[in-house]
Amino acid sequence: MIPDRPITTKKLVTDAFLCALLFISQVSLSWLPNVELVSLFLILYTLVFGRHVWMILYVFVLLEGFFWGIGIWWFSYLYVWALIPAAVFLLYKKNCPSSFSAALLSGTFGMLFGLLSSLPTILTGGLAAAFVWWTAGIPFDILHGMGNFTVSLILFKPLYQLLTRLKRHQS
């Protein structure tokens, strides 16, 4: 069992900064359909900051609900965004992936986002409603996947280097 280490003020401030960066990046790009940096940031945060990603992620999800309002889409954010850190923990186990590998994960997530987000609709409208909701969004999911792939391919390495320097100064 890993012993619990106390959260220092420095780590708490870093987590708050990373969460704010996540939220601000999402809101500032919201005018572009299905273009986001959240997927890339979650991959990077998981690689660099490990388990701290969970606090950052769920504060981000709460901020999303406060800012945009709580709707059925919000409940999917509770599990959909968590799939990225889970995949990083499973796939990379402390090894830094290549930019291409990170871009592939981010792009795949973008392609599956609509399908994964449609699951709460099963409870409110049934399987047929969820299927219609998902299939109507497939063109956006394709754009989402392509956007995630491209952004991650370009920004992964420089942002990884920047965040690893931030972590060194945090210690």
Contact (CB, 8 A) for 45 and 56: yes
Distance CA(44)–CA(50), nearest Å, equals 9
In a domain, residue 90? The reply is yes
Residue range 12-29, pLDDT digits in tens: 899 999 999 999 999 999
Answer whether residue 86 shows pLDDT above 90: yes
In a domain, residue 98? The reply is yes
In a domain, residue 103? The reply is yes
In a domain, residue 3? The reply is no
In a domain, residue 2? The reply is no
Which CATH number belongs to the domain containing residue 33 in this structure? 1.10.1760
DSSP string, 81-122: TTHHHHHHHHHHTTPPPPHHHHHHHHHHHHHHHHHHHTHHHH
DSSP string, 115-161: HHHTHHHHHHH-HHHHHHHHHHTHHHHHHHHHHHHHHHHHHHHHHHH
Tell me how many domains the chain contains: 1
The residue range of the domain holding 69 is 9-170
Residue range 113-134, pLDDT digits in tens: 999 999 999 998 999 999 999 9
- Torsion of Cα atoms, 57 then 62 then 66 then 70, to 10°: 110
Residue range 47-69, pLDDT digits in tens: 999 999 999 999 999 999 999 99
User: What average pLDDT is seen over the chain?
Assistant: 92
In a domain, residue 76? The reply is yes
Answer whether residue 2 shows pLDDT above 70: no
